[in-house]
Amino acid sequence: MNTQSHAIINVALLSRKDKPHLHLYALLGGVLPDLPMFIFFGIETLILKHSQGKIWSEQYFLPQWQNIFDIFNSMPFILIALGIGYYFRSERITVFCWSMLLHCVADFFLHREDAHRHFFPFSQYTFISPISYWETDHYGQIASVVEILAIIVASVFLYPRLQSRLSRGALVTVNVISMLVYTAIVIFS
């Protein structure tokens, strides 16, 4: 799934209107597993000036980058942190970790060629899903439609729980941008 979809769906699933301060932790947990990817893209594009073809066919698959990606997508590490959150009775840590875990579970079933080692460093196993959230040869178009519908449903559920105009505006903006990008991809593909 796309990062913004993880964020919206996770906040919707983990949010509580009576505890709006936890929305931020659900949002951060939904985004953090993808953060190394944004850093990777920035370094490879802006600093090293590699072409998009080289970035996504070679650089992405370098062991040093894969290790970084997989640390942030390691379900064992997340479960350890979740246990710590429960032990210390920290709602912030538990919501953050549940959100990271939800992100990783969704990615587990929706990544194919770009799959992570979700049990790293305890296992090198990589589940290659038959479904990809983006690869058209592996149901990517269907997965994209389902993803867009899921963020719309999650947004409708989430919108009344958000208490500030800024957060509501951000939610609407992310939805509009996501739908425009999806529409552009469908039209120009």
Q: pLDDT tens digits, the chain, 189 residues: what are they?
A: 999 999 999 999 998 888 999 999 999 999 999 999 999 999 999 999 999 999 999 999 999 999 999 999 999 999 999 999 999 999 999 999 999 999 999 999 999 999 999 999 999 999 999 999 988 899 988 898 899 999 999 999 999 999 899 999 999 999 999 888 888 777 776
Are 77 and 84 contacting, i.e. CB atoms less than 8 angstroms apart?
no
Distance CA 121, CA 183 (A): 38
Cis, bond preceding 121 (omega within 30 deg of 0): yes
Q: What is the pLDDT of residues 107-158, one digit of tens each?
A: 999 999 999 999 999 999 999 999 999 888 999 888 988 999 999 999 999 9
Distance CA 39, CA 31 (A): 13
CA distances (Å), 153 to each of 13, 28, 158, 166, 176, in order?
A: 11, 20, 9, 20, 14
Q: Which two tokens stand for residue 123?
A: 């296992």
Distance CA 8, CA 26 (A): 9
> Sign (positive/negative) of CA torsion 10, 14, 17, 21?
negative
pTM of the model: 0.93
> Which one-letter amino acid corresponds to residue 16?
R
pLDDT of residue 189: 62
pLDDT of residue 28: 97
Please provide the distance, in angstroms rounded to a whole number, between the alpha carbons at the two ends of the chain.
19
CA distances (Å), 73 to each of 13, 77, 120, 128, 141, in order?
A: 19, 8, 8, 15, 24
Neighbours of 169 (CB within 10 A): 11
* Percentage of residues of the chain with pLDDT beyond 90: 84
Identify the domain containing residue 183 by its residue range: 3-188
Give the total number of structural domains in the chain: 1
**Dihedral of the CA atoms 41, 117, 35, 136 (nearest 10)?**
60
